[in-house]
Amino acid sequence: MSKTKEIIEYEEKTFEDIKHIDDFGNEYWYARELQSALEYNEWRYFQAVIERAQIACANSNSKINNHFGVHTKTIEMPKNAAKQIIDYKLLQEVKRINLCMQKF
């Protein structure tokens, strides 16, 4: 098996492992889960990739809100504290994010 084919199969499996499906059968991914799968250590760097994908979406005359849903979640902190963090519910933009990553 060629190295390229192995990479493609790995990426497809990785995306499938973190994929979610809503009540209407739409596939989506949470950006913070995708961040880990794509091996970004810091959210701020991955958020920059998402912002570039949003610009690409807007430049193609697509509505950003149809592809990037802002999602707030609560995470547990030390000493029984909690913190609200922003996440994105990504619909078809996962492919664009992957393309943006390859350019930078």
How do residues 32-84 score in pLDDT, each as one tens digit?
A: 998 888 889 999 999 999 888 888 888 888 777 777 888 888 888 888 899 89
Given a contact cutoff of 8 angstroms between Cβ atoms, the answer to whether 75 and 85 are in contact is yes
Given a contact cutoff of 8 angstroms between Cβ atoms, the answer to whether 68 and 93 are in contact is yes
What's residue 48's pLDDT? Answer: 93
What's residue 46's pLDDT? Answer: 92
Secondary structure E strands in the chain: 20-21, 27-30, 68-77, 81-90
CA separation (Å) from 4 to 1, 9, 11, 94? 8, 9, 11, 20
Q: Is the pLDDT of residue 12 over 90?
A: no
CA dist 27 and 23 (Å) reads: 10
Q: Residue 19 gets which letter from DSSP?
A: -
The two beta strands, 20-21 and 27-30, are antiparallel
pTM as predicted: 0.69
What's residue 104's pLDDT? Answer: 44
**Structure-model confidence comparison of residues 94 and 16, the more confident one:** 16
Q: Is the pLDDT of residue 4 over 70?
A: no
Going from N- to C-terminal start, the domains of the chain cover 3-103
